[in-house]
Amino acid sequence: MKVELDFRKSVQENAAAYYDESKKLREKAKGAEKAAVDTEKKLAELEKRIAAEKEKAPAKVRVKREKEWFERFRWFRTSGGRLCIAGRDAKQNEVVVSKYLEEGDLFFHAEIHGAPATVLKGGAEAGEAEKREAAQFAASYSSAWKLGTATVDVYAVKKEQVSKRTEAGESAGKGAFIIRGEREWFKSTPLGLVVGTVGERIGVAPAVSGGKGFGAFVGIRPGEAPKDGAAKSVLRALGGKVSVDEILQALPAGDTAVG
């Protein structure tokens, strides 16, 4: 161990200087030790407070909502509260007609190749406004949207007028149906929908419904924006309350104008 001495001082003076220095270092060490103890106490108190707050706060459990049977299809409720469903593809079109088209319902279809089988439950008793809502819904999810068409003719028939068999007894193709008898026409039905929020989920309805029953909502129609860009615009309009994926699933195929 090396000890440095000040040659200008005597041995006693050097010793006294080292003694004073050691006292200062001991005091600093005591102060640092006390500060460490205080810090540990404060940390322990903070941990206790955090644990107590966690016990008080109710646990947030996200309960997965059980979906209704019709939510796998495209659907909405009319201004009169009637359920209207439409197939998303040829397979669902078959299911919509074979399993859910019943007596007293109406079958809607746009007069264009590539249109969903649309069923208005209790449609035989529906008013003119509800029928027009169902017609616009059927029109908007048809291929007319992708073609950028502003309007398309739509017809409605009863259950007994819809068949899978031709006059020759042959079966119509998957998702296709044979219609017999007089049809109720909704000529030049305009394409248009409203996309809105219902709680934490997204909802879609024909534009003529005016967005009734939605929280935030925005109108859409055939346009020039690609589907993914339109979905982001809808998301902004709805305040980011739902996901882009949900919106993409709700939008018709084809370019879209928002607002």
Does 113 lie in the same domain as 200? Answer: no
Single out the residue in 190, 210, 229 at which a domain terminates: 190
- Coil, helix or strand for 221? strand
The values of phi and psi at residue 65, to 5°, are -70, 135
Predicted local confidence at residue 60, as pLDDT:
47
Does 181 lie in the same domain as 227? Answer: no
Predicted local confidence at residue 7, as pLDDT:
62
- What does the mean pLDDT of the chain come to? 88
- Distance, CA of 189 to CA of 153 (rounded, Å): 6
Residue 153 has pLDDT above 60, yes or no: yes
Residue 121 has pLDDT above 90, yes or no: yes
For residue 15, CA distances in Å to 2, 8, 9, 131 come to 14, 13, 10, 107
Number of C-beta neighbours around residue 90 at 10 A: 14
- The residues with which 203 forms a beta bridge, in sequence order, are 196
| Minimum mean pLDDT range among 18-22, 116-120, 190-194 | 18-22
Q: For the chain, what percent of residues have pLDDT higher than 90?
A: 65
Higher pLDDT, 41 or 13: 41
Q: How many domains would you assign to the chain?
A: 3
Single out the residue in 190, 214, 247 at which a domain terminates: 190
Flag whether 158 is in a domain. Answer: yes
Flag whether 53 is in a domain. Answer: no
Does 147 lie in the same domain as 110? Answer: yes
| Minimum mean pLDDT range among 47-56, 126-135, 162-171 | 47-56
Range of the domain at 87: 69-190
Flag whether 147 is in a domain. Answer: yes
Does the predicted TM-score (pTM) go above 0.85?
no
Residue 253 has pLDDT above 70, yes or no: yes
Flag whether 64 is in a domain. Answer: no
Does 196 lie in the same domain as 186? Answer: no
Residue 80 has pLDDT above 70, yes or no: yes
Does 39 lie in the same domain as 20? Answer: yes
- Distance, CA of 64 to CA of 50 (rounded, Å): 29
Does 236 lie in the same domain as 211? Answer: yes
Does 76 lie in the same domain as 26? Answer: no
Residue 229 has pLDDT above 60, yes or no: yes
Cβ pair 226, 248 in contact under 8 A? no
